[in-house]
Amino acid sequence: MLENYFKTAIRNLWKHKTFSAIHILGLSMGIASALIIIVHIREELSFDKGFSKSNRIFRITQGGLGEDTRTWAPVSPLMGVMLKKEIPEIASVVRFHRLYPNQILGYTNGDGKVKRFEEKNGFFADSSVVDVFDLEFISGQALSALNAINSIVITDEMSRKYFGKEEALGKTMYDEQHKVPLKVTGVVKTFTFNTHLHFDYLLSMPTISQYIDQRSMENRTWNAFYTYVALKSDGLRNQTEAKLPAFMIGFFGGKGESPEKILANRKLYLQPIGDIHLHSNL
């Protein structure tokens, strides 16, 4: 019986070749389009899922209330430090700061040849970035690579650009604009999954003293540091967010504002890392 059905279908297709070709082509294009859309959606939804702690990593953002309703991704450099001290649900804090304008980095090899490039994709970062964002070291000591002043961790791609097949670890690069030597203390693998967090190199946070004065680092209203927190376990978001208003009162209270005014003018948010790519234009 099934064989007869197939024979009848083939005869009808052959009898109406033009009509059949149009329908088959339309069906094929529809299926192909649907598959492309599914693949695209899966890729867009996969951003930042490759981090082992992705379910408990959040970016701290600050929004204005009242007349100023803008929301900012960067916050004060001091905020991350104080959050870690005052909110016990937070296991780790990672701050990133990008220098403007771009850096000019150079390396002089043993033959005196200089490789020099303008770099646009580097950050100062706390050493906790290694654990929170699962940095995979090809060379160097992961636990200490970003501890010392004048230290730089580069990706494998950047290592090939400056050093070719040479071992990058222990070499000294040079920030030509600020006259700062930078010792390569680690080489890490470029992320192999989709993420909003792209960098070619990371400078240790102690190195920032060569670029920014201490007064700025303690400024509570200078919003210049992207700050991420990793909570101690899943399910602590609501509990942590409930403590943010009291934290804000203590953090901004030194400027003479009343608690009511502080809470009326600004608010802190925990933005899930998985929302940044699709749901954020900060």
99 with 29, same domain? no
237 with 128, same domain? yes
124 with 227, same domain? yes
Tell me what pLDDT residue 9 has.
Answer: 58
What is the phi/psi pair of residue 148, to 5°? -90, 155
Tell me what pLDDT residue 282 has.
Answer: 83
The model's confidence at residue 148, banded by pLDDT at 50, 70 and 90, is very high
19 with 59, same domain? no
Number of structural domains in the chain? 2
| Confidence check: pLDDT of 4 > 70 | no
The model's confidence at residue 16, banded by pLDDT at 50, 70 and 90, is low
- Residue count (the chain): 282
188 with 275, same domain? yes
Task: Check whether the bond before 101 is cis (ω within 30° of 0).
Answer: yes
Question: Rounded mean pLDDT of 59-71?
Answer: 88
16 with 147, same domain? no
Which residues span the domain enclosing 21? 2-45
34 with 60, same domain? no
Q: For the segment 209-235, what is each residue's pLDDT rounded down to a tens digit? A: 999 999 999 999 999 999 999 999 999
32 with 99, same domain? no
Tell me what pLDDT residue 139 has.
Answer: 97
Q: Is the dihedral of CA 24, 27, 33, 39 positive or negative?
A: negative
Q: For the segment 99-146, what is each residue's pLDDT rounded down to a tens digit? A: 887 899 999 988 889 999 999 999 999 999 999 999 999 999 999 999
* Spatial distance between the Cα atoms of 207 and 223, rounded to a whole number of angstroms: 19
160 with 195, same domain? yes
37 with 105, same domain? no
The model's confidence at residue 14, banded by pLDDT at 50, 70 and 90, is low
Q: Which two tokens stand for residue 94?
A: 């990672």
Question: Rounded mean pLDDT of 255-282?
Answer: 90
Rounded (5°) CA angle 116-120-126? 105
179 with 106, same domain? yes
41 with 62, same domain? no
Question: Rounded mean pLDDT of 2-29?
Answer: 67
* Spatial distance between the Cα atoms of 73 and 156, rounded to a whole number of angstroms: 28
